A = this chain, B = another copy of it.
Amino acid sequence: MTEVKKIAHVAILVEDIDDALKFWRDALGLELGHVEEVPSQGAAVAFLPLGDTEVELVQPLGEDSGLAKYLAQRGGGMHHLCFEVEDISAKLEELKAAGVRLINEEASTLEDGRQIAFIHPKSTGGVLVELVQY
């Protein structure tokens, strides 16, 4: 079975990154790596590396994206959990063979070369799970 290497990140959906940093950075004491816009996801993301993983604060940009609608309906909070895998194509095949429902049957390749795919929460007991291969 293809190895799951680590938790790549825990993504937290926020209304406003600057406001969220008042808790996560200023009060709790996490260190802010950097903030970047990710147009393909319709979001700005603040990366807060911690140990071998990271916390990501995800702020929807615009009001029409899926993320913006999710935020409007359900409010902020933990949004998804991302696992780094050795071979994302092999892992997706394994999951399909096990009857797991996938949001993305094939991985997408992002601008930086990273490959990602999401697993449907129906198959995970309510957790939106992302897979990534660097």
Residues of A participating in the B interface, judged by any CB pair closer than 8 Å: 1-7, 10, 12-15, 19-20, 23-24, 26-30, 50-53, 55, 75-78, 81, 83, 91, 94-95, 98-100, 121, 123-127, 129
Contacts and interface: CB of A to CB of B under 8 A. Distances in A.
B75 A126 contact: yes
Contact of A29 (B3, B15, B75, B127): B3
A77 B77 CA distance: 12
Closest 7 pairs between A and B when the two form their complex, measured CB to CB = A77-B126, A6-B51, A27-B98, A76-B126, A78-B78, A76-B125, A51-B52
Nearest to A79: B78
Contacts of A55: 7
B23 A124 contact: yes
B77 A23 contact: no
Interface residues of A: mostly helix, strand, loop or mixed? mixed
A83 B10 contact: no
Task: Indicate how many identical chains form the complex.
Answer: 2
Given A52-B53, A77-B127, 16 more contacts: A4-B28, A6-B50, A6-B52, A10-B10, A14-B125, A15-B125, A19-B125, A23-B123, A26-B98, A27-B95, A27-B100, A27-B123, A28-B83, A50-B83, A78-B81, A78-B127
